[in-house]
Amino acid sequence: MSISSPGKLVIGTSSRALFDLGESHQVYQEEGLEAYSRYQIDREDEPLSPGEAFPLVKKLLNINENLVDGRVIEIVLLSRNSADTGLRVFNSVEHYGLAVSRAAFCGGDNPWKYISAFGCHLFLSNEASDVKNALDNGVAAATLVSSTSKEGNGEQVRFAFDGDAVIFSDEAEKVYKNEGLDAFSASEKASAKTPLSGGPFKPFLSALHQIQKYSSNHSVAPIRTALVTARAAPAHERVIRTLRAWDIRIDESIFLGGMDKSDFLKAYGADVFFDDQQIHCDSASEHIATGHVPYGVANQ
């Protein structure tokens, strides 16, 4: 049966993002593949501890349980493990009651090659090279930055996004980097009625929007979105007109004019935040799960 249908959201996650494989990964680094395989097989009935992506995945899968009119969220496991060493991962999935049935165990090879085949809208990983490959192949992807945050309150899943080089292309950010803030503001004011090109997360945001429309008859929307950007007036207008031209709704838009994003992300109650700049990710990750998007001029 096809997993692609109107309102379906498919998210791929690596095993190291879903579960804490730090200890076993250290065995691999210090003692090699054979020792790592023995370590995992000997402990395959010991559940792994949750990883950075676990709270988000659990809340997303809970959406399926709370909707009476269809299963709209699909989580796919994409792992560098072999099937042998991956058995501990699947046993952990079962232990925590996660409704994850599709997986690719790639035996040390790059799992990103199966992202499109599974129809994933988003890929979450701890491997920066896999994330970069996914982005280069047109799939929204982020490297999860370690966070001590736990599962947020409530059943609603709250996504937060930076704008330039995440939702939008980096065309405006290039002006800022090369010519400064005044040139950026002037350029954006002059181009206010010209929509920005889409960035790597535009398709994912569109898929979220479809879920929101699909579940619009529910009293509480299962997913909420926010744009949290360093932009300020007069650079706000082009963003608003761009989203309008795309026919995509953002629930909340916060224009910070260069202020630190962390307090606003906490106030919003974000379950995860995506940004292209490592410095913003490091700050936000002290409070919430954060995904670094290695895309655009800031990452060159």
Position 107 scores a pLDDT of: 86
Evaluate whether residue 221 is within a structural domain.
Answer: yes
Cβ neighbours, 10 Å, residue 259: 12
In a shared domain, residues 163 and 107: no
Pick left, alpha or beta for residue 257 (phi over 0 → left; psi -120 to 50 → alpha; otherwise beta). left
The C-alpha atoms of residue 261 and residue 108 are separated, in whole angstroms, by 37
Residue 130 annotated in active site: no
The C-alpha atoms of residue 66 and residue 235 are separated, in whole angstroms, by 39
The C-alpha atoms of residue 44 and residue 83 are separated, in whole angstroms, by 12
Position 85 scores a pLDDT of: 86
Position 34 scores a pLDDT of: 87
In a shared domain, residues 200 and 89: no
Residue 200 structure tokens = 């790597």
Residue 55 structure tokens = 């709270």
Coil, helix or strand for 260? coil
We report the CATH number of the domain holding residue 88 as 3.40.50.1000
Cβ neighbours, 10 Å, residue 253: 16
End residue of a domain, out of 82, 114, 144: 144
In a shared domain, residues 70 and 140: yes
In a shared domain, residues 168 and 102: no
Alpha carbon distances (Å) from 200 to 78, 204, 205, 214: 20, 8, 10, 23
Closest CA to 284 of 232, 226, 242: 226
In a shared domain, residues 216 and 277: yes
Closest CA to 186 of 172, 169, 205, 167: 172
In a shared domain, residues 197 and 265: yes
3-state class percentages of the chain: helix first, strand second, coil last, to nearest 5: 40, 20, 40
End residue of a domain, out of 116, 144, 172: 144
Active-site option among 20, 42, 162, 271? 162
Evaluate whether residue 152 is within a structural domain.
Answer: no
Evaluate whether residue 2 is within a structural domain.
Answer: no
In a shared domain, residues 36 and 139: yes
In a shared domain, residues 120 and 173: no
Pick left, alpha or beta for residue 191 (phi over 0 → left; psi -120 to 50 → alpha; otherwise beta). alpha
End residue of a domain, out of 94, 117, 144: 144
CA atoms within 13 A on the CB side of 186: 6
Position 124 scores a pLDDT of: 96
Burial of 52-69, coded b for 16+ CB within 10 Å and e otherwise, reads bbbbbbbbbbbbeeebee
Evaluate whether residue 149 is within a structural domain.
Answer: no
In a shared domain, residues 42 and 171: no
* N residues, the chain: 300
* Structural domain containing residue 72: 9-144
pTM greater than 0.75 (yes/no): yes
Residue 105 structure tokens = 């165990």
Domain count, the chain: 2
In a shared domain, residues 36 and 66: yes
Position 82 scores a pLDDT of: 87
Within 8 A by CB and 6+ apart from 14, the residues are 77, 78, 79, 80, 111, 123, 124, 125, 126, 127, 130
In a shared domain, residues 290 and 176: yes
- For each of the chain's 300 residues, which pLDDT tens digit applies? 233 444 689 999 999 999 998 888 888 888 888 888 899 999 999 999 999 999 999 999 998 887 655 678 999 999 988 888 889 999 999 999 999 999 999 988 888 889 999 999 999 999 899 999 999 989 999 999 876 555 556 789 999 999 999 999 999 999 999 999 999 999 999 999 999 999 999 999 999 998 888 766 666 788 999 999 999 988 999 999 999 999 999 999 999 998 999 999 999 999 999 999 999 999 999 889 999 999 999 998
Tokens 């920005």, located at residue:
196
Tokens 């800031």, located at residue:
298
Evaluate whether residue 3 is within a structural domain.
Answer: no
Evaluate whether residue 151 is within a structural domain.
Answer: no
